[in-house]
Chain A
């Protein structure tokens, strides 16, 4: 049976070149970068070269890049670290209702500490209103945290304008760029980003590695206390092999970015068009153009997302859904509700995220499979025959 992976936004396979770059750091060059002997100094050199590589891909200098254990840690550190360190300035943070849980749950934790959080709503395509953002800023506002690209519906924000508003009001701007990094052009200076979370395993690197970009001069408290690693800001013996993999993945992504965007966008549009045109009562979620090059998010009326995923899995296709049944809670995903979808439509959601190993053949196979599976489930659905009866 065919096995087609269309869940690249969940995670990506490690590329062979990436794995090759990592291997020596498990066995021969295993040193602790804090040691002064040759083993340690080799590791230290590798670590610093990785830092330079990653800095270059985002238009910054190495001393602004701090390695972490992944996107969630970076998000936690950025928000908790900045809010706690800037209490003298204020206690207010602005974010959106449809952030990743790495941000939303951190905001909830900060509210328990006494901080105030404003959650901006997004429009039907998943974009915030710049006017509403500017209006939400008060004298007490320390920070704005708005995700670069949404993980479920793929919508990209107008990051440059958000950065300008933040800079104008002297508010610190953090963006969770876990889905964006390696998939769109990012220049932290040009976009006036002060902090940015990125992750390795979304860009064909290993899991368990990420980074936080912290612009020079930003006041931030430590999250992980301990040794003097990462210039005293993030304790813990560095995961050199992981970091070397991350750097290799970032280097490859950066070198092939134009081609990656062009190729994926074409496949994405083919997939979205194929689905929407061949299935009645379906809708394409997110922004039509300002979106992740590999994200296709759709909703099918009258059927439920988990049943859809299981049926597609039986045909070899791996996707994801924001239905309540897959989230393990009563409600469908907060992202789909945030863009104003009613529960019954959000239940029938499907996210297919494609990547570097997706082919045109895969896309065409997926369109056919979806057509069949949706039809089969609808023939079982008591909601669908009401519609047929009404025709």
Chain B
């Protein structure tokens, strides 16, 4: 059901943990749906010097978090804001259709962390213009059978 890459990132997740005195922290998802992602970033100049995550969720949620942190490590904030859920999916070698929302969550968690950093430092990024960190991003694209 999962690619080797997904299993690798799930079994050996990169950048798990917390950053003390992080410059930005973002958390998305909700416990009712079964996924919560929290991303911490440390920014130096405009470079994301360190990034860590904690995730409550299924295998693909953990793998998507792990890959997302890897993709933005060492990038500028502007570059990190360009990360899309599609890149996360591609990097994982694909996700089953019902798990695409995990990649969306990873993108949103990262944006939420940068939003937090931007708010604290009074910075404005074009890519965050319409971003609402409190929006429910956990859009499952699964249709439950009629019951």
Contact = CB atoms under 8 A, between A and B. Distances in A.
B is a partner of A:
yes
A303 B33 contact: no
Contact of B32 (A306, A325, A344): A344
Given A331-B144, A379-B16, A382-B27, A325 B54 contact: no
Is the contact region of chain A dominated by helix, strand, or loop, or is it mixed? helix
Contacts of B32: 343-344
Given A347-B34, A380-B16, A380-B62, A330 B144 contact: yes
Given A343-B31, A379-B16, A382-B36, A329 B56 contact: no
Contacts, number: 75
A304 interface: yes
B57 interface: yes
Nearest to B11: A314
Count chain A CB atoms within 10 A of each CB in B32, B37, B57, B59 and give the residue with the most. Answer: B57
A381 interface: yes
Interface residues of A, number: 28
Nearest to B57: A304
A279 interface: no
A11 to B, nearest CB: 18
A330 B142 contact: yes
B82 interface: no
A85 interface: no
B59 A108 contact: no
Given A343-B31, A347-B34, A307 B58 contact: yes
Nearest to A332: B34
Given A310-B10, A330-B144, A331-B144, A343 B55 contact: no
B81 to A, nearest CB: 22
B35 interface: yes
Interface string B37-62: 11000000000000000111111011
Nearest to A346: B34
Interface of B: 2, 7, 10-11, 13, 16, 18, 27, 31-38, 54-59, 61-62, 98, 140, 142, 144-145, 147
* Pairs A-B, 8 closest by C-beta atoms: A325-B58, A306-B58, A382-B54, A347-B34, A344-B31, A382-B38, A381-B56, A343-B32
